[in-house]
Amino acid sequence: AGRWEPPAPQPGAPRQALEEQYSPSRWSPRLGSDTVIQAHVAATAAGTQRARASTDTALHVPYGDGEREKLDIYFPPDPSGTFPVLVYIHGGYWQDLSKEESGFAAPPLVSRGVAVVAVGYDTAPKGHMDAMVLQVRRSLAFLVRRYTGISGVFLCGHSAGAHLAAMVLSTDWSQYGAVPNIRGAVLVSGVYDLEPILHTYVNDALSMSREVAQRNSPMLHVTSAAPAAASCEVLVVVAQHDSPEFRRQSQEYGQALRAAGWSVSVLDLAGVDHFDIIERLSEESYILTQV
């Protein structure tokens, strides 16, 4: 988890100011920079273990040949009929975490008849941005081909995972042999314009060029809401204690989607930071779980 955060910035340089904005743990009032990341990994891993112990699961289901091209599926009590599925795409700045810490939201949703799927993908430095986007798109096409009982797909991504989920919304599905019925997307504390990332420590592992960043910035690829997308509700979620840059990106991406005809709501959650905003999806009473 150390790669998430650079050394403490020295005052003055523009890059250092930008790195401050794109270092989510520096903005948490709960815990110190290193501690909040350690707590996040511990909380999501423990929640995932509880979910695996209490839920009917199919773990490590391959959607491709790659080592990380696997899904963890948490089934509702009666999976014989049709059911909606929440597809969770983890964060970690495209270089940390995995599906092994990504099942924590399953128990309250599974109990309501919703399947939860945690997507694995190749993180940097092995994975590069084009490949990650392609993997997440392929995972969805595989999922709806494999499980014909899915009544609708709801995307949920956190941080870097919100970026990947947003890229799914601009997919030309004619190349994938299946068209997922995406009914909703919950984009939590995401990055939707990758250009600022080029100028921070985050790109040390990603090695993105400007062309790669532009090709994979959801903000630059907002498609007009086609008839199929008209029934897709997008919820852009941001934390009170996200940095001003994260908050700006969420607001501007929501505005861009709305201008293109998408059904969009922006939810600004008080009293949470970049990490517990998603950790608390393990709680049935949490506002975002309820939504």
CA–CA gap between residue 137 and residue 140 (Å, rounded): 5
Choose, from 242, 250, 276, 282, the residue flagged as catalytic: 242
Query: What are the C-alpha distances in Å from 223 to residues 152, 171, 230, 256?
Result: 21, 9, 12, 10
Residue 242 annotated among the catalytic residues of the structure: yes
Amino acid, res. 289: T
Amino acid, res. 9: P
Residue 274 annotated among the catalytic residues of the structure: yes
Residue 159 annotated among the catalytic residues of the structure: yes
Q: Which residues contact 59 (CB under 8 A, 6 or more apart)?
A: 52, 72, 73
DSSP per position, 156-171: EEETHHHHHHHHHTT-
Nearest CA to 5 out of 285, 276, 291, 275 is that of 275
Q: Which residues contact 162 (CB under 8 A, 6 or more apart)?
A: 89, 91, 187, 188, 189, 190, 191, 192
Residue pointed to by tokens 């779980």: 289
Choose, from 159, 189, 243, 282, the residue flagged as catalytic: 159
Residue pointed to by tokens 């790109």: 203
Choose, from 163, 243, 274, 282, the residue flagged as catalytic: 274
**Residues known to be catalytic:** 159, 242, 274
